[in-house]
Amino acid sequence: MRAASHSGWASMTETYTALARKWRPKAFTELVGQDHVRQALVNALTSGRVHHAFLFTGTRGVGKTTIARILAKCLNCEQGVSAAPCGQCASCREIDAGRFVDLIEVDAASRTKVDDTREILDNVQFAPTRGRFKVYLIDEVHMLSTHSFNALLKTLEEPPPHVKFLLATTDPQKLPVTVLSRCLQFNLKRIPVAQIGAHLREVLTAEQIEFEPAGVALLAQAADGSMRDALSLLDQLIAFGGGRAAEAEARAMLGTVARDHVVQLAERLAAGDAGELLRFARSLEQWAPDYAQLLDELASLLTRVALKQVVSDYEGDELYASELIGRLAAALGAEDVQLYYQTAIIGRRDLPLAPDPRTGFEMTLLRMIAFRPGTADAPVAVRAPGAAADAAGERAAVGGAAARVPASGPTDGPWSTLLAQLDLSGAARQLASHCVLLGREGARVKLALDPRSRSLRTPSLEDKLAQALSRHFGETIRLEFVTAAETGETPAQARERTEREQADAARQSFESDPGVRGFREQFNAEVIPETVRPLK
């Protein structure tokens, strides 16, 4: 029984074909993504205007050599040159199997010497053995030496009619411009996560393998735009998960944090409780998380929340359900979401500069709370000599919660009310805000200008103000200006007075806060008055 079992297992492993090879596209219709390249090649083949040299560029696993092989099949199909090779003739089958004698595949990374290149190119003049065209597929062509490039260039300048060159590279900047100028260049893009995920689900369904959509979504993200990498990861996950592709196994294999941890971070951010947020962040240490990845996941969740706030019918995805996204979108303000996202990605960038990853992660979270729009216009700075790192986070939280003084605009009379209704902006509005309305007689409006703002009075700004008043009153208005210091309070002066009063009230409120008093007593802290801002 054991021998039979072992023999059966060996037989199965010997016949198994990796998913990346089994599901490699064999026709343009099977390609995932790269529509711009596919359409151009299909049109060229259909019209019979096929260039002698093509250059396919792009990162790994996006389809460069796959497209080149499909193109070689289109050129050599026994049914004729077309964008849809039959796939059944001897030429098509041999190209798919990698043994077509007139498809010469060269790995430039291992054939960099000029002698190697000359050996290959010496046979260019000879007619194809089997096919219609002799096709040279040179992968990682940027690895060729200068002498090899010169040998290739000579052939590209005067190619025989029966030869096609298909060049592929991940680094086109290293190619000589003389080579670039003789090729049709196609830049292959990274494949979007949604397209990778959809293709992986199609593969799993066809292979009759049980999967969880969230696990597939994690693989699609980890593939970083490469379909080949995605299929290789899928093979790995199926082996790791015992024949299924589930979320828990995907997270364990990829080393990603649990989705619930990210959700709980977002919920504690929405609650605005710095202490509870910090306690939960520290509890994650038992899982030995990758803090950079945790910030990435949080930013990804916040992106979905922002989408829900703008697009009401956004339904979420495999990772985060619509109900969860809707609940967070209602609990978080739009400004909060934008701030938290920006802070997360900046904290992610600065994480290597932190004393250690956990400290950098915690300070990023506390920065979100301290700077959130609902607490103050700006953080309140508190000097606390010798305070511990943990207290620094608490200082930020206390500072963020201070100065809750409602703001209100000036209500200094009819001119301010009228000014708020005018279609006026920029310097013209500034001119009006430094005036006091003395009166109106018919079409004439008399204004007193603050002497300190005389420089604002220019013919063009006077004209803009007069036009705004004319549109408002429905008749042509003429302005008359006088310069006087004792004619009353201008809207600008009223706004400055109100802001001073609010700032004074905010400082008094902040100074009387029990938390602030506690910090001053415990850490000998000093409040920097000019950093206290009232709520808007």
| Cβ atoms of residues 137 and 68 within 8 Å | yes
Q: Which CATH architecture has domain 259-374?
A: Up-down Bundle (1.20)
Topology of the domain comprising 19-187: Rossmann fold (3.40.50)
Confidence of residue 54 (pLDDT cuts 50, 70, 90): very high
Q: Per residue in 135-146, pLDDT tens? A: 999 888 888 878
Rg of the chain's alpha carbons, rounded to an integer?
Answer: 35
The Cα 48–Cα 82 span in angstroms is: 8
Taking each helix axis from N to C end, the angle separating 389-400 and 514-523, rounded to the nearest 10 degrees, works out to 150
Most confident of 8-17, 45-54, 379-388: 45-54
The pLDDT value given to residue 331: 87
CB-count burial class (<10 Å; 0-12, 13-18, 19+) for 511: middle
Q: What DSSP string describes 239-302?
A: HHTTS-B-HHHHHHHHTPPPHHHHHHHHHHHHHT-HHHHHHHHHHGGGG---HHHHHHHHHHHH
The pLDDT value given to residue 485: 61
The pLDDT value given to residue 116: 59
Confidence of residue 484 (pLDDT cuts 50, 70, 90): low
Bridge partners (DSSP) listed for residue 43? none
The pLDDT of 54-80, averaged and rounded, is 91
Q: Which two tokens stand for residue 156?
A: 């590209």
What's the CATH number of domain 414-488, 3.30.300.150, 3.40.50.2300, 2.70.98.40, 3.40.50.10490? Answer: 3.30.300.150
Q: Mean of the per-residue pLDDT values for the chain?
A: 81
CATH 1.20.272.10 in the chain, residue ranges: 259-374
Confidence of residue 535 (pLDDT cuts 50, 70, 90): low
Residue 6 has pLDDT above 60, yes or no: no
Q: Count the Cβ atoms, other than its own, within 10 Å of residue 185.
A: 14
The enclosing H or E element of 325 equals helix 322-331
Given this structure, which CATH class describes domain 193-254? mainly alpha
| Cβ atoms of residues 81 and 211 within 8 Å | no
Q: Per residue in 149-190, pLDDT tens? A: 887 888 888 888 899 999 999 888 888 888 888 899 999 988
The pLDDT value given to residue 526: 75
Bridge partners (DSSP) listed for residue 448? 436, 482
The pLDDT value given to residue 115: 57
Confidence of residue 401 (pLDDT cuts 50, 70, 90): very low
CATH 3.40.50.300 in the chain, residue ranges: 19-187
The Cα 90–Cα 73 span in angstroms is: 11
